[in-house]
Chain A
Amino acid sequence: MSKHDPKLLLQSAPLLRQGMTTPAAMRDVWIALLPASLAALWYFGLAALLVLLTSIAGAVLTEWLFTPRERRAITLHDNSAALTGLLLGLTLPPALPLWMAFLGGMASIGLGKIIWGGLGSNIFNPALVGRAFLLATFPNAMTTWTAQSGPADFLTLHASNLALPFMQAPTVGAGTDAMTTATPLNLMKFEHQGTDLGALLLGNTSGSLGETSALLLILGGIYLFLRRGLDWRIPLGILGSAALFSAALFLIEGDKYPTPLFSLLSGGMLLGAIFMATDPVTSPVTPKGAWLFAIGVGLLVVLIRVFGGFPEGMMYAILLMNAATPLIDRYTQPRAFGRKRATK
């Protein structure tokens, strides 16, 4: 070979690449969830950390167990299973027995992801499948909300956290008994009593680990939006339609129904709208479809909260619209370039 050899770069298409990869996208979501997770530790102490860690462990272990050996390195290094575990953990109550959190992580990945064929093939949001499984399996433990312990009692553990596998909390033993309180949504539903909006914004209320601080969730959402990690239409559509719908109800009968701002800031609304509903696997890909999906979630969540039996409806609203996603995608396909609009 002479030194006049032309320098040719031989490469097959695609030649133009975007930096976005699955691990990078997952890393962005991790960073976006960090403030809310740290707030969970601040408000609920060590119990929160342990619940989050066990649900992550359950998810990762299940993923490892049911992935063929030669593909383990690929599927585990993108951290998607751990992210599912974290998202699930953020929807759990702080005093949940740790073995239930672990089981929930297993159900998330096993029933929510692996049986559909792994990442990208699932119909329902895996974290919410895990939560739905836990709520149907242990209705009592999943709706026992504890008061915040605050940073002063960081090391507080609840007796129920340490329950042995398959057992309820021991009546005597390690840890302090959890002080149960009602969440803002419970107060609204059963006693028609509002909660201070400032407390909702900062997260100074009871509830599941990740849903308390509205401000930090919005912060994470803005970060994700700037990194183009989420479809802005979905959170905007959900929050907008939920606000409109609850405003209409509030105008009709103000004493009975919550104010729109309360609806937006309380419960799992923000966590769900920003982090769960925007899961690219289980939400529509077309812009028009995203709007339809988001409006559907917003209407359903207000319907369930106001007229349903549960105080919170975010989980079921998202799961129901997940089920409708393939249909929405099918009917909102944009016209392919150069083709005529289909005539009816």
Chain B
Amino acid sequence: MATLSNKMNAYDEMLKGIWRDNPVFVQVLGMCPMLAVTNSAVNAIAMGLATFFVLVSSSFLVSGMKAIIPKQVRISIYVIIIATFVTVADYTLLALFPAVHKELGAFIPLIVANCMILGRQEAFASKHSVKFAVMDAVGMAGGFLLAMFALGSVREILGEGKLFGISLFGENFEPWVIMILPPGGFITLGLLLLLFNWVGERRKQFLAQVAAVD
């Protein structure tokens, strides 16, 4: 394991979560908060930041404790660790931003059930050193945060004509009601996935062409 870790580049581990293995656009994980709370940019970012905090902290702790976690009960221990940090995030939000906390509602406790977080513990943090585990978590959570923001801002701009509550188009804007409703979440996510795949495909073709020329 040590030799493998040495070959890995810490920054590469971080960047893969943002683009190549983006948890939302490539792995299609964490769909529940993705569709439920992205009806405005502020909600999306608050959710993304809470998830960021939970994922990075849990990856840090799980990776640090991997030697003493019994293999047979590892999943339940991961869940307990994640739940601890979710509770911290929940009460912090409640104390500092009660309005946002109210908007997000049940979806903050539900971060525990975000399969992206548990997946990183099982697939990565429990097998790598603390440094790589944290870098991986930062990348994945960063990718998740960016995806949340992309979805939330598109839905808020089209659904209300605003971004972060600031009106963009003046009073005569005709809101797209569907964008605030659940179907808008699915449609926007689908279109962003289309865009992401299209760009990825173009990039692959471009790289292949470059390789052919070389």
Contact = CB atoms under 8 A, between A and B. Distances in A.
Nearest to B171: A168
Interface stretch (B45-53, B62-70, B98-106, B174-182): B174-182
A36 B173 CA distance: 34
A168 B172 contact: yes
Interface string B161-188: 1000000010011101111010100010
A120 interface: no
Interface residues of A, number: 15
A181 to B, nearest CB: 22
Contacts of B172: 167-168, 170
Nearest to A111: B187
A100 B190 CA distance: 21
Interface of B: 161, 169, 172-174, 176-179, 181, 183, 187, 190
Contacts of A324: none
Interface of A: 97, 100, 111, 115, 133, 136-139, 141, 163, 166-168, 170
Contact of A138 (B161, B176, B183, B187): B176
A208 to B, nearest CB: 19
Contacts of A133: 178
A122 to B, nearest CB: 15
Contacts, number: 31
A115 B197 CA distance: 14
Which of B169, B172, B179 counts the most chain A CB atoms within 10 A? B172
Contacts of A141: 174
B169 A166 contact: yes
Contact of B177 (A137, A163, A168): A137
A168 B187 contact: no
B169 A137 contact: no
A139 B174 CA distance: 11
Contact of A166 (B174, B178, B179, B181): B174
A136 B174 contact: no
A86 to B, nearest CB: 23
A123 to B, nearest CB: 15
Nearest to B174: A168
A136 B174 CA distance: 13
Given A138-B174, A138-B177, 8 more contacts: A136-B177, A136-B178, A137-B177, A166-B161, A166-B174, A167-B169, A167-B173, A168-B174
Nearest to A100: B174
A167 B169 CA distance: 8
Contacts of A170: 172
